[in-house]
Amino acid sequence: MRMKWKSWSLNKHHHLLVKFAVAIFLVGLAFRLFVARSKGFASDSESPVLEEEHVQKPDLKPPPVEIPDNEDQVPLDIVTEKCDLFTGDWIPNPSGPTYTNKSCPLIEGHQNCMRNGRPDSGYLYWKWKPHDCQLSQFNAKRFLKLMRNKAWALIGDSISRNHVQSLLCMLSTVERPVEVYHDEEYKSKRWHFPSYNFTISNIWSPFLVKAAIFEDNNGVSTAEVQLHLDKLDKTWTDVYQSLDYMIISTGKWFLKAAIYHENDTLVGCHICPGKNLTELGFVYAYNKTLHYVMDFIAASKHKGLIFFRTSTPDHFENGEWHNGGTCPKITPAKEGEIELKDLNKILRNIELEEFEKASAKAADNEVNLKLLDFTNLLLSRPDGHPGPYRQFQPFAENKTAVVQNDCLHWCLPGPMDFWNDVIMEMVVNG
């Protein structure tokens, strides 16, 4: 009886050794398969390399970050904790932009800095990082899937048009949109993504209220703007209820010379010497307009998602748009190095105040109104403007030529692309 027990014990011991050896073998095999699979992901997920003749990478090269494309196998690094997405720093981004001026034909000439001959490229290799949380890279494929059968519109001035181009370029890495509409001046446009039945519109409405504008594409005016402070611009209100998502903005245009109308009556002006009108100033007009716009939105019962975006800073030095201002910086500014200009502060304060007033009313009416406060995010990017490279090869014939600088709009690719990271996070996680 004892011999049988001993034999059974030895057999059991031998069985355990065999199991242990098999387990070690399986762990080793799994590890080798995991390494091989990881290498496969790395090769598939590298960001597109910019053409050498257009872009030269900076010397600063942190370790590359792998971002696999397959959303079904690798979970998106979407922010789960709540944080202030608009307070943070620009950190090195060695992978660079997801598109180039060659891969995206939708960039308008004035923002196509690489094509126009901008010699430095360091401005392309930074990304926005909020202080208190991680922010996922914009995922064009997932965004398009979320937007199936939906309609977006970006409503405002040329900064909105600048942003539309950025968003379209990022989405075109998955599918090239088809332009299906433009107005006579090509200022309002609409694009369609056939595979997703998704449309994006750029609606030109720089004041958001009714306005008669006498200005060319270079910003030269022949007369004051005729501005009706109590009449919303039908260009956007007529399509308002048909839109699922909107980004509405305004700002800098209110600094222009203008004649103000209310109840079809002249009430005053901003910068109108010799007109025998009361100088009311742009603050009066901006307050009135934004209050009217916000009240319309808050009472609208709209069932989609509406973003209101604050105005963006410019970085003109030693002058302004038409009197020799330049923006020569080629690196982001450090914290505290640049202060928001007084005029920008005034605009932003009015925007935040009117948004705050409308928020409670919007919530009561179940209107989903959110704030995109990108002012400070771009304040630290004086390097991101076209500057003299709003024109094609401005110094090709004369190295010392005096040319107009654009220190208001943004190069594409460039800092504005990271607006889309923030917007996707807010769309996905609310």
Read off the pLDDT of residues 99-118 as tens digits, 9 standing for 90 and up: 999 999 999 999 999 999 99
* Number of continuous H segments (helices) and E segments (strands) in the chain: 8, 13
What's the domain range around 243?
A: 88-429
**pLDDT band at residue 13 using 50, 70 and 90 as cut-offs:** very low
| Residue 145 C-beta-side C-alpha neighbours within 13 Å | 7
Where residue 169 sits, what CATH number does that domain have? 3.40.50.1110
Q: Which pLDDT value is given to residue 226?
A: 97
Q: Does residue 407 sit within a domain?
A: yes
Q: Which pLDDT value is given to residue 335?
A: 80
Q: What are the respective helix, strand and coil percentages of the chain, to the nearest 5?
A: 35, 20, 45
Active-site amino acid positions: 158, 406, 409
Q: Which pLDDT value is given to residue 429?
A: 86
427: phi then psi, degrees, rounded to nearest 5: -70, -45
Q: Does residue 260 sit within a domain?
A: yes
| Contact between residue 137 and residue 129 where contact means Cβ atoms under 8 Å apart | no
| Contact between residue 95 and residue 68 where contact means Cβ atoms under 8 Å apart | no
- Reading the block at residue 411, the tokens are 């190069």
Helix spans in 278-401 (H): 282-298, 342-364, 375-379
Residues 332-345 have a mean pLDDT of 92
Q: Which pLDDT value is given to residue 52?
A: 36
| Contact between residue 185 and residue 272 where contact means Cβ atoms under 8 Å apart | no
Q: Does residue 73 sit within a domain?
A: no
Q: Which pLDDT value is given to residue 109?
A: 95
How far is residue 317's CA from residue 328's CA, in Å, rounded to a whole number?
8
**pLDDT band at residue 10 using 50, 70 and 90 as cut-offs:** very low
Residues 38-49 have a mean pLDDT of 33
Task: Calculate Rg over the CA atoms of the chain.
Answer: 27
Query: 69-91: per-residue pLDDT in tens?
Result: 333 333 444 444 568 999 999 99
Query: 240-297: per-residue pLDDT in tens?
Result: 999 999 999 999 999 999 999 999 999 999 999 999 999 999 999 999 999 999 999 9
Phi-psi region of 268 (alpha: psi -120 to 50; beta: other; left: phi over 0): left
Q: How many domains does the chain have?
A: 1
**pLDDT band at residue 312 using 50, 70 and 90 as cut-offs:** very high
Q: Does residue 3 sit within a domain?
A: no
Tell me the pLDDT of the chain averaged across its residues: 85
Helix spans in 52-173 (H): 140-146, 158-171
DSSP secondary structure letters along 167-222: HHHHHTTT---EEEEE-TTS-SEEEEEGGGTEEEEEEE-SSSEEEE--B-TTS-BS
Residue type at position 56: Q
CA distances from 393 to 100, 398, 401 (A): 18, 10, 11
Residue type at position 411: C
Q: Does residue 4 sit within a domain?
A: no
Asked if the model's pLDDT at residue 50 lies above 60, the reply is no
Q: Does residue 291 sit within a domain?
A: yes
Q: What is the 3-state secondary structure (H, E, C) of 235-303?
A: HHHCCHHHCCEEEEECCHHHHCCEEEEECCEEEEEECCCCCCCCECCHHHHHHHHHHHHHHHHHCCCCC
Asked if the model's pLDDT at residue 27 lies above 80, the reply is no
Q: Does residue 60 sit within a domain?
A: no
How far is residue 405's CA from residue 425's CA, in Å, rounded to a whole number?
34
Asked if the model's pLDDT at residue 23 lies above 90, the reply is no
How far is residue 101's CA from residue 118's CA, in Å, rounded to a whole number?
12
Query: 188-237: per-residue pLDDT in tens?
Result: 999 999 999 999 999 999 999 999 999 877 677 789 999 999 999 999 99
Q: Does residue 35 sit within a domain?
A: no
Query: 125-177: per-residue pLDDT in tens?
Result: 999 999 988 899 999 999 999 999 999 999 999 999 999 999 999 999 999 99
